[in-house]
Every structure is written in C-alpha cells, then in structure tokens.
Amino acid sequence: GEDVEQSLFLSVREGDSSVINCTYTDSSSTYLYWYKQEPGAGLQLLTYIFSNMDMKQDQRLTVLLNKKDKHLSLRIADTQTGDSAIYFCAERGSGTYKYIFGTGTRLKVLA
C-alpha cells in the first residue's frame, strides 16, 4: 500500500537553512503537501506542490520534487526559533480524498 517516510528529527542553528526530506511510494500521487504542527495544536498547511512541478517557492519555503525518485523536500531559509515544530509530508492521488501522512519530522532550532 501507500507509504510516506520521513526522518524523525532535525536540529539546525538559527539563521541556517533547514531541509526536511520525505519519500513516498504511490506513483499516482497528484498532490503533495507540507504541514506544520506546533505544540498542542492541529496541523497547518504550509505549502503544496502538484506532481507535474519540480519546484515551488513561497517566501522562505522552497519545495523540491523528484518524481522519478519519489522524493520531496522542504527547505526553510533563514530558520528562526519560531520554526521549531513538527513538519508533516502528505500525499494524495487525483480523484481521491484520502491523504497519506508521513511520521513527521521534529525540527529544533537552536539559538
């Protein structure tokens, strides 16, 4: 079945760039998402990318998609302490409402 994998932890220094990686198995995935979860809160959509795109930039966020390798990454430029959170990758196919989430990557930003 479909699977989405992420590394569990990432630690970076304030001001550095963070890169969070995700791999997925469903080749029919049409939409790929990045969500952010702060402590005690629900998930907040950060950005998304369609499977026919290679890259999407949105202010400090850059999403790269390698469809051949089924690899998705989220780069956060100039990482701030407020970026400390859990980041989830998710995918869904066209015509389906079912989202498959990764395990989440806990980003810790050191001052």
Partner 1 sequence: NAGVTQTPKFQVLKTGQSMTLQCAQDMNHEYMSWYRQDPGMGLRLIHYSVGAGITDQGEVPNGYNVSRSTTEDFPLRLLSAAPSQTSVYFCASGREGLGETQYFGPGTRLLVL
To partner 1, the closest distance from the beta carbon of 54 in angstroms equals 17
**What span, in angstroms and rounded, lies between the C-alpha atoms of 30 and 52?**
8
Strand intervals (E) in the chain = 4-6, 9-13, 18-24, 29-37, 43-50, 55-58, 61-66, 71-76, 85-93, 100-101, 105-110
Please identify, using beta-carbon distances, which residue of 17 and 25 lies nearer to partner 1.
25
Do the beta carbons of residue 37 and residue 27 sit within 8 Å? no
Please identify, using beta-carbon distances, which residue of 7 and 62 lies nearer to partner 1.
7
* Residues making contact with partner 1 (CB under 8 A): 4, 6, 8, 31, 33, 35, 40-45, 48, 50, 88, 95, 97-104
To partner 1, the closest distance from the beta carbon of 67 in angstroms equals 18
Please identify, using beta-carbon distances, which residue of 8 and 111 lies nearer to partner 1.
8
